[in-house]
Structure 1
């Protein structure tokens, strides 16, 4: 036979469960009302910036979602063109019919040590980006590390802003990655995420590793 203590504990537990269920039901009703009010769709301008890791990784996660849904998409890499990255291998090797991939960069500016060459590569990447973004058949275009090209003024931020505002098809999503996003781009964007750096193995002497960084 259950003791009075056991019965009291059972009653307390049932009361906690009941209060939790009521709280969750109330929260679900509020959430359902909020979702019912959100019926619009549009092509978003999305910015991933900040000093923390994960900006490009998040953008490629979105590209893989597009691929999984069968949506045509494209990537233009402004900096990592010389890198043999896992994303590039996967998308070109297995999903080339859905995802166009253009590695237009020649490495970080301290690697090339040639400003004129960096500017030429950035401008070539932007011309390709404009061509892809203008194609209404593409659901998403990722401009990987374009913020670095904008930071060093290899590209004119006003030209980029004007094109995105005036020429992007209404249902095309454009994702722009890289630290130090310019304020003009942040102001234009629909969604901005800043990656915050708390710890990084590089500071402990660990080099970039395949599967993590590239």
Structure 2
């Protein structure tokens, strides 16, 4: 007697069971943990937002963390307001930049502030109590050579504590950093309202 054809529901269930078995096998082989070097780059929106998303996860898990902002320090951002007002006991927030380089129009001052930001970043990364450090827009500072990308890479490789996570954001991440990172995400720009004459808006851009 021939078997009855499977229903759509039965075919779907069998397919999902096979996928789950394969996924469980993969997950069973993943046992290692390490502090990750994470890079968010590319021309699209969402690099800093994703980094702050991870900061909020750390806060939710009661993991001490820290933020160093290299460019947007002069801005009153929603993330900074929220963290400083409610989670200062779990997350240090250091706004080291004074605006984008074309706003300050003072290269020497920009370099000085970037170097101070990097010094603070190293201090926070080496702190054994801190488990996650977000270096927001540091890639821009490295792009302009205000901070030496090779120095950053060597520090992260040789001095970063084994279980400390570090996330570096900003477009135009340099190749040595990408090569050294454990996780790299490139945000792709498809559409942005700025190109249609819409300014950055509260809650979306800052």
TM above 0.5, one fold? yes
User: Do residues 95 (structure 1) and 84 (structure 2) align?
Assistant: no
- In structure 1, the partner of 2:64 is 72
- In structure 1, the partner of 2:9 is 17
The one of 25, 35, 50 equivalent to 2:27 is 35
**What is the aligned length?**
203
User: Do residues 210 (structure 1) and 202 (structure 2) align?
Assistant: yes
Report the Cα distance in structure 2 between the residues aligned to 1:174 and 1:136, rounded to whole angstroms.
Answer: 13
Report the Cα distance in structure 1 between the residues aligned to 2:26 and 2:130, rounded to whole angstroms.
Answer: 30
SS of the aligned residue for 1:41 comes to: coil
- In structure 2, the partner of 1:118 is 110
User: Do residues 140 (structure 1) and 132 (structure 2) align?
Assistant: yes
SS of the aligned residue for 1:138 comes to: coil
- C-alpha deviations, 1:50-95, integer Å up to 9, x for none? 0000000000000000000000000000000000000000001000
Report the Cα distance in structure 2 between the residues aligned to 1:210 and 1:124, rounded to whole angstroms.
Answer: 28
User: Do residues 190 (structure 1) and 182 (structure 2) align?
Assistant: yes
Larger radius of gyration: 1
- Equivalent residue runs for 1:156-195 within 5 Å: 156-195=148-187
Long gaps (5+) in structure 1:
1-10
The one of 82, 88, 100 equivalent to 1:108 is 100
SS of the aligned residue for 2:116 comes to: helix
Report the Cα distance in structure 2 between the residues aligned to 1:187 and 1:63, rounded to whole angstroms.
Answer: 24
SS of the aligned residue for 1:74 comes to: strand
Cα drift, residue 139 of structure 1: 1.0
Long gaps (5+) in structure 2:
none
TM-score (norm 2): 0.97
